[in-house]
Amino acid sequence: MAHGSNKRQTVSLAEVAGAAGVSKMTASRVIRGASGFSMETRDKVLKQVDLLGYVPNRIAAAFGSEQTSTIIGVSVPHLSGGMFGFVLDSINTALAKTGYQTMIGAHENSVITEEIWVKNILSWRPAGLVLSGHSHTQSTRDLLKAQGIPVAEIWNLNTSPIDLSIGFNHSDCGYEMAQYILSQGYKRIGYVGADAHAPGMGRLRKNGFESALDAASMKFAAIEILNDRSGYYAGYYGTENILNRSPNLQAIYYQDDAMAIGGIFYCQSIGMDVPKDIGIAGWGGMEAASVLPQRLTTTIVSTQGLGRSAADALIARIRGEAVQDVTIIPTRLAPGNTI
């Protein structure tokens, strides 16, 4: 304050208007691209905008026009690794095109962290929210319903969503994969997952898989769920663990492709042949699998399609257009040669 000089170095709309010889309102109309001005005035105003280096103040705009801002909050488990980066990329691209700004939060699969984030983000009066993960605390749900704000729940399907649900049918993915693996004659099947303390959607796929096993009067021969986050190395030593306990497994279903790839390498490291000695299946259709010598048996999902659909649906809802409440993003079981 003493030696600094950061006292309103910004140019205001009033200054632009003054310099252009029009009223604030007219300048505002020109800058927003509203109607009610001549080409002549437009040029005068824009010239001053350029000259003075006017940067619009969206805080003031959002405040003045009341209602909501052009902010959209997006909450994901995490930004690194995994597949959410791809979803975020496509959501972000779609939203940026329509003039919205994304405010991102990472909840690490904790509903409490999510609740705190939701409260924070609501104080920015966002136009809408995108949430991922299956469950929310009751007070999160209450809060969102009370605010009446458009909300898109993504990644999984929620048959009774807060507002909109766009996602994959994880349970079906697991069910379908189980049927496929069983159809190939495998009997003793194990499961390797992660995030034991904060289960994500992998748990639904496991449950779906178990349903199919159950229908065939079977059960998982062994289950290994690590406390760590999913990843290549988690898959590697998760496989080590499960095979130490149950050396005679015939196949393993993994929480996702990263873990399945880790599993393939563990098997390779101990001289087991995939799929002759053991079958392996993942989920997701990760790019990393594309360079493996064998095609990984997995379920391919479109993270980009999910992101775009979510963004489109949310924007339509914000604009008051008709949208269907639940959108299923199709997935495809891709048989490879690891099963």
Phi-psi region of 320 (alpha: psi -120 to 50; beta: other; left: phi over 0): left
Task: Rule CB under 7 A: choose which of 57, 113, 250, 304 binds DNA.
Answer: 57
Beta bridge partners of 76: 106
Q: How far is the CB of 99 from its own copies (least distance, A)?
A: 8
Q: In whole angstroms, what is the distance from residue 321 CA to residue 53 CA?
A: 37
Q: Does 41 bind DNA (CB under 7 A)?
A: yes
Q: How far is CA 76 from CA 90, 117, 194, 231, 331, in A?
A: 13, 11, 17, 17, 20
Contact mark string toward its own copies, 35..54, x via CB under 8 A: ------------------x-
Q: How far apart are CA 2 and CA 10, in angstroms?
A: 19
Q: Are strands 251-254 and 189-193 parallel, antiparallel or unpaired?
A: parallel
Residues 6+ apart with CB under 8 A from 45: 16, 17, 20, 22, 26, 27, 30, 31, 37
35 residue type, one letter = S
> Which residue from 46, 104, 223, 326 is in contact with its own copies, where contact means CB under 8 A?
104
Q: Does 53 bind DNA (CB under 7 A)?
A: no
Closer by beta carbon to its own copies, 154 or else 213: 154
Is residue 60 within the footprint of DNA (CB under 7 A)? yes
What one-character DSSP code corresponds to residue 290? G
Decide which of its own copies, DNA, none touches 232; Cβ closer than 5 to 8 Å per partner kind.
its own copies
Which residue from 19, 31, 166, 286 is in contact with DNA, where contact means CB under 7 A?
A: 31
Cα 283 to Cα 299: distance, rounded to the nearest angstrom: 5
When CB distances are held under 5 to 8 angstroms depending on the partner's kind, the choice from DNA, its own copies, none that residue 53 binds is its own copies
In 3D, which of 152, 163, 159 has the Cα closest to residue 87?
152
Work out whether 37 is an interface residue with DNA (CB under 7 A): yes
Tell me how far, at minimum, the Cβ of 88 lies from DNA, in Å. 28
Cis status, amide bond into 150, omega within 30 of 0 = no
* Chain residues in the site for its own copies (CB under 8 A): 4-6, 8-10, 53, 55-60, 62-63, 66-67, 69, 71, 78-81, 85-86, 88-89, 92-93, 96, 101-106, 117, 119-125, 143, 146-148, 231-233, 235-236, 258, 261-262, 265-266, 268-269, 287-288, 290-293, 303, 320
Q: Which residues bind DNA (CB under 7 A)?
A: 8, 10, 12-14, 21-26, 28, 31-32, 34-38, 40-41, 56-57, 60-61, 63-66
